[in-house]
Amino acid sequence: MRLKRCSLRCKYFVAWALVAGPADSTLGCLLTNRTVDFTGSDSVVNAEIGYGFELFLIAFSAQLGRAPHANPETVARKLLRLLAYYQGLLVLVRHGHDKAALRDTVTSEIEAITEGLYD
């Protein structure tokens, strides 16, 4: 039961990201925006963007990595999937996509990504 809560924490984190800020805000995430704007143009900026993504992976890993029987390669793949899903949501928010519709995807996607970790 304790490990299942890790999955719930990820859901709450992702859902929170969709509702944070003003209701009409579609500015997105600074890290996501800078990735789109600056990737490939400056090695210092790219290094900082990489560090930002690493911080997300560390935060997600603190939850997903608690599964005692999980293969580290499986966890790493699931962490990357979670980061890709999360960043994709932020891009869609920036585009002005319906936040309620995006929120409706959180539970099923997080469950799919974390499937097998908590069995």
Q: Mean pLDDT, consecutive 10-residue segments, the chain of 119 residues?
A: 54 62 57 72 78 86 72 87 88 82 85 78
Residue 119 lies in a domain: no
Residue 76 lies in a domain: yes
What sign has the CA pseudo-torsion 29, 102, 12, 21? positive
Measuring CA to CA, which residue among 105, 83, 96 is closest to residue 32? 83
| Number of structural domains found in the chain | 1
pTM of the model: 0.76
Domain of 90?
2-114
Residue 29 lies in a domain: yes
CA-based radius of gyration for the chain: 15
Tokens, residue 77:
């793949």
Q: How far apart (Å, rounded) are the C-alpha atoms in residues 12 and 68?
A: 22
Residue 89 lies in a domain: yes
